[in-house]
Structures are given as structure tokens and as C-alpha cells.
Amino acid sequence: MKAAVLVARAVFPEVLEKLAAHFELSTNQPDAVWTQAQLISQLQGKQGVLTTGSERVDAALLAACPALKICANMAVGFNNFDLDAMSAAGVLGSNTPDVLTDTTADFGFALLLATARRMAEAEHFLRAGLWSRWRYDMFAGAEVHGSTLGILGMGRIGQGIARRAAHGFGMQVIYHNRSRLDAATESACAARWVSKTELLQSCDHLMLVLPYSPQAHHAVGAPELAQMKPTATLVNIARGGIVDDAALAAALRQGTIAAAGLDVFEGEPRVHPDLLALSNVVLTPHIASATLSTRRAMADLAADNLIRFLVHGQAVTPLNPQILNGAASA
């Protein structure tokens, strides 16, 4: 008898075909964003679910969905999962690392360039019909090449950004991470570990690439912003909540830092209204991994985790692999 699986958001039809070959499949191609109560209702009798960052899996949901065995997130981040509660309930979690590393690093660097060189601000000026003449300081921004890039969080994506910065733009790269990288990786990235205080005080551009956790909540707030150069820029492609958006808006308005580029926000898709009112911030709607090939690879990997676990008792990229031992011995 086939296991029952829910795909909680719209996804590529080819991925649905692959899943339908193995499971009794329920889908959401209209792409409704369900409430938690609606998600629980849809999950009744389901052994697996393909989720995105908009579906919260917590203890209450797990208690209401006792048949559930695996939640496969179509994302590298998994702050929508209460992983401790999932492990306690014997539910496997999986994510999609590696397949989006380079695409996200590309976007992070694009957002850095757009922020430093005031591209969005200049485009809005042009579209509004305000460009009538040249002026020596018109939209003069900050240099990127040869400047100092500070990276907070130095996992796969942070390392990809470091390599682009050092080898492509001749930037001096400094980083702060919970664990220092080994010497060989630091050399490959041409990056130097520093304290968080030195990172904030020394960088011309700050890139946030650390995973979200309760400990990382508001890792950059008013005290951290006050330590940065008034000419510095900040780019967040990590997760909403790592930056205190209200404090950032105040810092941008007051000239504490020069500009920011944000792909993620607290409480998204809501964006803090103070950020929307500012011209010195570039805003994008959580699209750092948004190329067709990368999003397809993410969906395929999430599907492969469902198939490997529910059909074969294994997984490709498990988040709590101890569950696999329990499944094997059950």
C-alpha cells in the first residue's frame, strides 16, 4: 500500500509526477497559503509532507498528525521546523543544502553591488523622469573592489561569497563564525577570522549569511549597527529575524550606516513600513535562490528525501539522522 504524501505548496509538475509514481499524492497547485489549522487538516492520514518555509512544523502540529513520518523542506534553512519536537515524535526532517549554494552566493553579491552602487535608487529616479543632466556626485556610491567585506556566518554560502569577493573583486575578506574554519578553507576563501566586534568596526560592507536560531535572533540590532562605519552597507540574505528591522530602518534614516540590501525580513511577507519609506535600501522578496534550475534542484531533492525515506527507510539530507536508526530498527 502506497504511503500518503502532501505537497503543501505549488511545485514543478514534473516533480509531482515523480512523487505520484510512489505515493498517494495530495497537492496544492493553486498555491494557497494555509493557516496552521488548515495545514493540520490537510495532513490527516499523511505519512509525508513536502514543505516550504511558510509551513510551521511544531509540537502542536505533530500531536495532531500522528501518522506523519517525514517533513521534507524545500529550502536549506529550517527555522520553520521545531527539530527537537520532531525528533521526540520520531519524525524525520530534511532540507536542500548544496544545490543552491552558488546561485545564492551570486545573488548575495548582486545585492551587495546594487546596494553599494545605489542601483535601485538611481533606477527609481530615472523612471520618475527626474534625470535631466549629469552631476559629478549623482548617485555616487561606495567602492566594492578593493574594499573590506565582513561576512557574519561562514557556511557554504558564506564561503562562496568570500571566494567571489577575494578572487573576483580583490576585496579583503574578514569573517566571524561560531566555529573558525580550518586553515585550508580559510586559504581557499582568502578570508581571515576576526571577533564580531572587529568585523563590525572594520568592514566596508557587511554580509549576513548565518542560519537563524533563537541565539541568532537580532544578532544585528541597534548596538551592532552603532559599531559600523557611517559609510558601510549591510546585506542580509540569511533569514528574517537575524536583523532588528526597526533598528535598521532607524540607522538608515539617521545615517548610522549608508545603505542596506535585504532579501529577507522579520514576519515576511510583511515588510516593516519604515524600510519601505527609505530610498537607501534595496528590497527583494526572498529570491536569492530563484533561478529555474536551482528551484527545480531544490524541489527534486525534497522529493528524493520523501522517496528515499518512505520507500527505502533512508534519506539524502536528513536534519535529525538519529531518526533513521529508529526507523531501521522499527
Mind telling me the catalytic residues? Answer: 239, 268, 286
Torsion of CA 71, 73, 77, 81, to 10 degrees: -30
Burial 82-93 (b: 16+ CB within 10 A, else e): beebbbebebbb
> For residue 159, which amino acid is it?
Q
**Among the listed residues 293, 320, 319, 287, the one whose alpha carbon sits nearest the alpha carbon of residue 97:** 319
d(CA 52, CA 34): 12
101 sits in which H/E element: helix 101-116
In whole angstroms, give the CA distance from residue 299 to residue 54.
Answer: 15
Q: Describe the crossing of helices 292-312 and 13-20 by its angle, rounded to 10 degrees.
A: 10
- The H or E element that residue 192 is part of is strand 191-193
Q: Report helix, strand and coil shares of the chain as percent, to nearest 5.
A: 40, 15, 45
Question: CA nearest 231: which of 264, 209, 260?
Answer: 260
- Widest CA span in the chain: 74
Query: What are the C-alpha distances in Å from 235 to residues 24, 105, 161, 265, 327?
Result: 42, 12, 12, 12, 41
d(CA 4, CA 174): 48
